[in-house]
Structures are given as C-alpha cells and as structure tokens.
C-alpha cells in the first residue's frame, strides 16, 4: 500500500516562493516583461550558437577522452562538486538555523529535500554532460564508448554524494567570519573613500573563485584547438581568466553601489563624492581592460578593435551611471535589468561582426548566466 | 503532573567561553516565565537550546515530558518558537507563512484562533502582502503569530514586545495572559522590559554570565517585593547592579 508523503515544510516554502515569483513576473510592466523575454531568448540562442562554433573548430573532447581520460573525469568531478557544494551548504544552514529550523519536521525534512534536489541536479548534469560530449565531438565514432558511459553516470553521482557529505562541514563558516573580522579591523578609522575601495575589493574577493567561475574556466578549455602549443594554451587560459574576473569584479562593484545606497543614505556626504569613491575601481577596470583589449586585437591584426572598444567603454559608463542613479533612488532591483539590457544590446551588435571572437561570446554567456542565477 | 519544561544541568560552551553553566529549572503549564539579564548573559542561547537549535555540551531538556535528545520530533511538536524577524522569508506572504506552520503542526489550514489573533494584533491588513514589504513591527507580529499557532504547551518568545506599537503591545499582553490561563500554555519570554514582569509573569529567572542569579516564583516575588517595599523592577536592577 502506498504511504502518504509526510509534509515537507522546506519543499512547500520553496514551491510557494517560486509561485510568488512567477505571479510577480506576470504582474510586471510591459517593459520589464519584454526585457525578461529578450533575456531568456538571448540565453536560448547564445548557448547553441556558441556550442556549434566550438564544435566546428575544436576536437578537444576526442583528445581529452582518448589521451587524458583520468584528468578529464577528475576535472568533471571537481566542476560538478564545485557547483553542488555551495547549494548543499546553503540548504543545510537554512535547515539548522533558518526560520523553519524549530519545526517538528526539521532537520529530517530538509535532509530529504536536499537529497532529492541534488539527485535532480545530478540527473540534469549527466544529461548535459552526455549531450555536450556527443555534440562537441563531430566525426568521433563514439565518445562515450566502453567505460566512459559508466563514468558519465558515476562521476556526477560521486560529486553529488560528496557534496551531501560536505554540506555539514563547519570550517567554511569560521573562515568567512574571520574574513569579516579582518576587514572590520582594517577599515576602522579610515576615510570614506578608502573604506569604499576596501569594501569593493572585499566584495570582489568574495566572488573570486565561485562555482560559476570554475565552470567558465572548465568551459574555456573547450576553446583550445587540438595541437595548440603550450604557450597558446597558457595565453588562452590567462586571457579567459582575466575576462571572467573583470566581469566578476564589475558585477561585485555594482552590487556594492546598491548596498551602499541603503547604508550610506543617511550620511552627510555629498552624492558626488560617494559616486566618485565608488567609481574609482570600475573606471580603472574599464581603462585597463579596454587598453589591453585594444592592444591585443591590434596585435592580432583584427579590423574591428575600435568598435569593440567603444562598445565596452559605453557599456562600462552606461552601467555605472544607471546603477548609481537608480541605486540612489532606492530602486535596487532595476539596475540588474538595465545591465542585462545593455549587455544584450552589446551582444546583438557584436553578433553583426562575423569575426567576433568566441571568447567574447563566452564572457557574455558567463555574465548572463550569473545574472540569471542571481535572479 | 508533567512539567511543561524541565531543564537539568544544562551547560554550553562556545570556543573557550562558557555561555550557559549548569542551569536547572522547571516550569509547569500555565506559568509565564520572564527571562531577564544583561546583553550577552545567555538568554537567546538558552531559548535556542530549548528549541533544539543548539546542542548543549551537557544536560537534558524535557518538553512536556519528551526529551529533546531522544524524542526531538515529539518535543518540537509541543513547542512554539518565535522566529527571529530577520530570518522571515521575504518572498512569502504572511498568510503563506502561517499556513506552512499550521500544516507543520498537522492542521489542514490556519486555525480561526490565529486569524483572530492576527486581527487583534492589527496584522490582518498585511496578511496577504509579501514579508519583504513589512515594517519591523509587522514582522515582529508575524513571528509572534507563528509561535502561537495551535497553542502548543510551551511557547518561547524572544523579546516579543520589541518594535510593537502600544496598542499591539497591550493586545499581545492580553493574548498571552489568556493563553497561559485558559489554554494552559507555558510561556517563556526573554525580555528587557522589567516593568511588565510584575503584571504579566508568574516566574522570573535572572541570568548573569550564563548562570542563574535569581529564580523566583510568584510567591517569592510577592514576598521579596513586600519585604523590601520595592517594585520587582527595582529589586532586579539592584541585584544586577550589586554584581
């Protein structure tokens, strides 16, 4: 006889939140709905375009699975674990000290929910992994022959089990607490401009090595063609890493502006001086990355460095101004859509250049994905 | 008669620092305990231990006869815990939160008494709005209502009067008195408001550095205040100042 599923407050709470978000999205004004639609469309289009471009030029999957199978599967395990562990930790913490923690069903219900959630994500990862391997290896007779089939199933499963096991670890909490204490000691007695810069730097350091970055670096390996020299591989990885971190830093600094608007509004500091304090890092980043991009593209003999450079700078300035102005008007949710819309326009313009580098596309996808995850 | 709450030899340490040291006390149904003490004296830690959110290094807690160690589910089913208001989920409405807690207690829907209490506290106009739009006081009301759902034998309230307007505060005091006298609930309330203890509580415990400094029931409160010719507030402040 089938037994009725016991009530799970955590699962119910998450379902209700999703329902509320969906209902709220339908109630948004038409401009926001249009932006959301464009955002989802871009996400749906850019992925296949990027993958098909990679598939045309790269044979890395064949090489990796044929020659360096243990390293490849170890990398898959690390990437999978890196994306699952933070989720598992967040859920575990919510179950042990969150708003539902004192209910009779806890922590058993939370553990059950987390196990199911990770199992679903594991299945999705297996499907994506198999799909990607088949798609990215045209001409390769069977990339998942023999033991690879088994590994494609067991490696994400092993990562899921490890993430479940690691979710109860306490050492990470202690590390975060110490970091905050160190920051608060450093910022005592400093001027506002220095505090703001240290705040932005701390915000960037918090997202320096996130699961999204790990996945992006993993995905970047696919761009390296077969037979590339060691120097070529190193330069590709270095440039890719710099692009991702620049995007990361940008997003982190935009978030600090939003947070600051709530915290510093009551201070008798002029908006201009605050804006200036918050703009130093973003402008340094825009300047340095713009210069490097310009020099790099010129060295490659590309005919379109100026257009890309202008777009990058325009995006930087527009994002900063929009974010700052909107943040000071206390509309913290809007800047993210504005950033997305600016990036979308950038993507559409970049698409018109047939020679746009895949790296630019990858950076854009990473940025959009992060926006989506944050939403 | 089984005590609503029995705390035996409870000790808890954080790092090297003892937060609670060898606490003993017991409360019967219908009693209202005021847990008093300076900041950092261990009031909130004690509440979290009783709710089973923190595991003590030693000692035992029985809620309505059920041990937190051995019968966690049964013990928690007899407990209403006031969620700290910053933990409330911004993306749910007050009604959804109440419905979730009601269903966790085995009820099909929000009990009419809870809706009545929401009306009484002035929470009804906010009940269908998202929690992220609530003011501090409105969040506090929701936290209180979540703890009171289905009138469990033991209710833990951590500074429930914080942020409440005078009308809501008076309504809450009346509600708590009714819950304790008519529905036989035992209420533990951590508070800094010494003035209300005499009119509301039947039992007071003063914590200092994780130890029980005073543990007086109603008879002892009466005796101490009449002997000294002082209000309870004055007696407690005097005792705390002397240390």
pLDDT in tens, B99-136: 999 998 888 889 999 999 999 999 999 999 999 889 99
Using the Cα atoms of residue B62, residue B68, residue B70 and residue B75 in order, give the sign of their dihedral: positive
Mean pLDDT confidence for A148-175: 75
| Angstrom distance (rounded) from CA A185 to CA A293 | 37
Which residues on chain B are in Cβ contact (under 8 Å) with A105?
73, 104
Residue A1's pLDDT band, with cuts at 50, 70 and 90, is very low
Residues belonging to chain B:
243
Residue tagged 């005919």 (tokens):
A303
Residue of A16, A94, A103 to mutate, interface with B, max B Cβ within 10 Å? A103
| Angstrom distance (rounded) from CA A336 to CA A323 | 8
For residue A17, give the nearest of B77, B81, B89 by CB distance.
B89
Which residues on chain B are in Cβ contact (under 8 Å) with A106?
76
The answer to whether A250 and A285 are in contact (CB under 8 A) is yes
| Angstrom distance (rounded) from CA A70 to CA A323 | 45
Instruction: Name the least confident of A38-47, A283-292, A327-336.
Output: A327-336
Output the pTM of the full model: 0.68
For residue A102, give the nearest of B81, B100, B130 by CB distance.
B81
How close are the terminal C-alpha atoms of chain A, in Å?
42
Instruction: Name the least confident of A65-74, A223-232, B195-204.
Output: A223-232
Asked if the structure places residue B137 within a domain, the reply is: no
Mean pLDDT confidence for A330-341: 47
Which residues on chain A are in Cβ contact (under 8 Å) with B130?
20
Asked if the structure places residue B47 within a domain, the reply is: yes
Instruction: Please tell me which residue of chain B has the smallest CA distance to A101.
Output: B53
Helical H segments across chain B, by residue range: 43-50, 72-77, 94-104, 112-120, 136-148, 166-182, 197-200, 218-228, 232-242
- Which tokens hold the place of B102? 């009601």
Residues 6+ apart with CB under 8 A from B226: none
**Chain B within 8 Å of A195 (Cβ-Cβ)?**
no
Residues of B engaging A, defined by a Cβ cutoff of 8 Å: 51-53, 73-74, 76-77, 79, 81, 83-84, 87-89, 91-93, 96, 100-101, 103-105, 130
Residues belonging to chain A:
375
Asked if the structure places residue B128 within a domain, the reply is: no
Question: Which is more confident, A102 or A352?
Answer: A102
Could you give the C-alpha distances from A233 to A222, A293, A332, A364, B172, in angstroms and in order? 11, 18, 40, 21, 68
For residue B53, give the nearest of A13, A16, A101 by CB distance.
A101
Residue tagged 């004004």 (tokens):
A29
Asked if the structure places residue B200 within a domain, the reply is: yes
pLDDT for residue B146: 93
Asked if the structure places residue B29 within a domain, the reply is: yes
User: Reduced to 3 states, what is the DSSP secondary structure of residue B208?
Assistant: strand
Residues 6+ apart with CB under 8 A from A29: none
| Angstrom distance (rounded) from CA A356 to CA A367 | 17
CA atoms within 13 A on the CB side of A292: 12
Asked if the structure places residue B176 within a domain, the reply is: no
Interface TM-score (ipTM) > 0.90: no
- Which tokens hold the place of B105? 């207690």
**Chain B within 8 Å of A16 (Cβ-Cβ)?**
yes
Query: What count of other Cβ atoms lies within 10 Å of the Cβ of residue A310?
Result: 12
| Angstrom distance (rounded) from CA B12 to CA B21 | 7
Question: Which is more confident, B43 or A5?
Answer: B43
Query: What count of other Cβ atoms lies within 10 Å of the Cβ of residue A28?
Result: 13
Residues 6+ apart with CB under 8 A from A49: A361
pLDDT for residue A143: 58
| Angstrom distance (rounded) from CA A242 to CA B141 | 49
* Number of DSSP helices (H) and strands (E) in chain B, helices first: 9, 10
Burial class (CB in 10 A: 0-12, 13-18, 19+), B48: buried
Asked if the structure places residue B113 within a domain, the reply is: no
pLDDT in tens, B226-239: 888 888 778 888 87
What angle (nearest 5°) sits at the alpha carbon of residue B129, between those of residues B124 and B133? 115
| Angstrom distance (rounded) from CA B76 to CA B61 | 12
Residues spanned by the domain of B27? 1-78+154-159+191-243
Which residues on chain A are in Cβ contact (under 8 Å) with B84?
99
Question: Which is more confident, B125 or A48?
Answer: B125
A4, β-bridge pairs: none
The CATH number of residue B53's host domain is 3.40.50.300
Asked if the structure places residue B87 within a domain, the reply is: no
For residue B96, give the nearest of A16, A100, A105 by CB distance.
A16
Residue tagged 């306490």 (tokens):
A170
Query: Could you give the number of structural domains in chain B?
Result: 1
């Amino acid at each position: 006889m089938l037994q009725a599923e016991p009530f799970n407050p955590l699962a119910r709470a998450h379902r209700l939140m999703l329902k509320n978000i969906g209902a709220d999205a339908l109630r948004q004004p038409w401009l926001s709905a249009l932006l959301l639609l464009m955002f989802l469309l871009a996400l749906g289009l850019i992925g296949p375009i990027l993958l098909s471009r990679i598939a045309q030029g790269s044979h890395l999957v064949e090489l990796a699975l044929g020659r360096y199978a243990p390293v490849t599967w170890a990398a898959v395990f690390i990437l999978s674990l890196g994306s699952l562990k933070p989720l598992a930790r967040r859920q575990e913490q919510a179950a042990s000290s969150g708003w539902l923690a004192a209910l009779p069903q806890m922590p058993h219900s939370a553990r059950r929910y987390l196990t199911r959630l990770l199992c679903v994500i594991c299945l999705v990862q297996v499907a994506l992994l198999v799909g990607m391997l088949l798609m990215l290896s045209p001409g390769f007779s069977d990339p998942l022959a023999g033991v690879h089939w088994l590994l494609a199933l067991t490696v994400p499963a092993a990562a899921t089990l490890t993430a479940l096991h690691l979710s109860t670890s306490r050492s990470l909490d202690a590390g975060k607490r110490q970091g905050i204490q160190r920051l608060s000691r450093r910022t005592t007695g400093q001027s506002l401009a220095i505090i703001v810069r240290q705040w932005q730097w701390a915000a960037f350091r918090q997202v320096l090595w996130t699961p999204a970055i790990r996945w992006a670096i993993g995905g970047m390996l696919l761009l390296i063609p077969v037979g590339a020299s060691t120097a070529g591989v190193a330069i590709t990885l270095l440039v890719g890493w710099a692009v991702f971190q620049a995007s990361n830093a940008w997003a982190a600094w935009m978030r600090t502006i939003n947070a600051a608007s709530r915290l510093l509004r009551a201070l008798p500091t002029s908006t201009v001086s605050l804006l200036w304090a918050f703009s130093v890092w973003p402008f340094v980043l825009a300047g340095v990355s713009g210069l490097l991009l310009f020099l790099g593209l010129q060295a490659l003999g590309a005919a379109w460095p100026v257009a890309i450079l202008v777009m990058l700078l325009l995006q930087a300035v527009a994002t900063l101004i929009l974010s700052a102005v909107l943040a000071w008007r206390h509309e913290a949710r809007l800047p993210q859509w504005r950033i997305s819309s600016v990036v979308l326009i950038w993507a559409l313009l970049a698409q018109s250049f047939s020679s746009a580098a895949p790296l630019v596309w990858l950076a854009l996808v990473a940025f959009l994905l992060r926006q989506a995850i944050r939403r | 008669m089984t005590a609503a709450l029995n705390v035996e030899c409870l000790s808890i340490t954080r790092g090297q620092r003892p937060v609670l040291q060898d606490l003993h006390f017991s409360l019967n149904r219908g009693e209202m305990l005021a847990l008093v003490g300076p900041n950092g004296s261990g009031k909130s830690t004690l509440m979290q231990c009783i709710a089973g959110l923190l595991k003590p290094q030693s000692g035992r807690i029985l809620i309505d006869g059920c041990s937190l160690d051995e019968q966690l589910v049964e013990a928690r089913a007899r407990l209403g815990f006031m969620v700290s208001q910053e933990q409330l989920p911004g993306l749910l409405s007050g009604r959804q939160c109440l419905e979730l807690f009601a269903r966790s207690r085995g009820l099909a829907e929000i009990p009419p008494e809870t809706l009545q209490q929401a009306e009484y506290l002035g929470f009804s106009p906010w009940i269908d709005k998202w929690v992220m739009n609530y003011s501090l006081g409105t969040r506090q009301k929701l936290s209180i209502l979540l703890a009171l759902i289905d009138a469990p034998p033991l209710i833990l309230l951590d500074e429930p009067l914080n942020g409440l307007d005078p009308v809501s505060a008076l309504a809450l005091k009346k509600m708590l008195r009714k819950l304790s006298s008519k529905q036989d609930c035992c209420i533990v309330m951590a508070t800094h408001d010494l003035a209300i203890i005499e009119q509301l509580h039947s039992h007071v415990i003063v914590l200092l550095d994780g130890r029980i400094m005073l543990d007086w029931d109603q008879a002892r409160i009466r005796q101490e205040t009449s002997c000294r010719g002082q209000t309870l507030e004055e007696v407690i402040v005097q005792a705390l100042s002397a240390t």
